[in-house]
Amino acid sequence: MDSIIFDVDGTLWDSTKSVAESWNKAIREHSSLNLTLEPVSLSRVFGKTMTEIADALFPDLSVKERMELLDVCFDEENRYLEDHPGILYPDVVRTIKELSLSCPLYIVSNCQCGYIEVMLRTTGLGPYIRDHLCFGETQVPKGETIRMLIERNNLQSPVYVGDTQGDADSCKTAGIPFIFAEYGFGDVPDAQTRIHTFSDLTKLLP
């Protein structure tokens, strides 16, 4: 293992409350939908691509309308998170600092452009993350985005830390080991390597 790539939602932090608040504002102001999103409903779609999220949450709209509303939601979300950031999981800052001393750290997420930057800014994690890439930039499935980041940084033996079956499947596509964060949003029954808390990662370093 020469590097660690992290997912964001359900792995580093939980932003579902703030995201629900910002999206509900966008939905009220920019659509006629009678819809109020709850944090738990968002946790079920976090980790999916932006297109999949739009299809799941706004099925009554046309494809064009779904994506237009989702873009508005994302813009509102990025602004809202600056003042109402997500909640980091226990020991994330301390563990990231410790890991960064011996291992380059990266992020790949299925999020929109700007989201990772807001997370890094509001949590103070920015100095410890070497590079990041998201679906908003690549517009390809997560496994391919992971491969792009690996190639861009010439990583030889990376591992990926995530919390959903989609993350595990993406690692298979990318051809790298997966570490399942059990405390997150999803379930990966067949995961071979697991962490119960974020700080457990320090025990996996050689």
pLDDT tens-digit series, residues 99-124: 999 999 999 999 999 999 999 999 99
Backbone phi and psi for residue 90, each to the nearest 5 degrees, phi listed first:
-55, 135
Supply the Cα-derived Rg of the chain in whole angstroms.
17
CATH architecture of 3-14+87-203: 3-Layer(aba) Sandwich (3.40)
Single pTM value for the model: 0.94
Decide if 78 contacts 19 (C-beta within 8 A): no
Q: How confident is the model at residue 50 (pLDDT cuts 50, 70, 90)?
A: confident
Tell me, what's the pLDDT at 206?
A: 67
Q: What is the distance between the alpha carbons of residues 4 and 10, in angstroms, rounded to a whole number?
A: 16
Decide if 3 contacts 155 (C-beta within 8 A): yes
3-class SS of residue 205: coil
Q: What is the distance between the alpha carbons of residues 109 and 40, in angstroms, rounded to a whole number?
A: 19
Decide if 67 contacts 30 (C-beta within 8 A): no
Q: What percent of the chain has pLDDT over 70?
A: 100
Any idea where the domains of the chain sit in the sequence? Answer: 3-14+87-203, 16-83
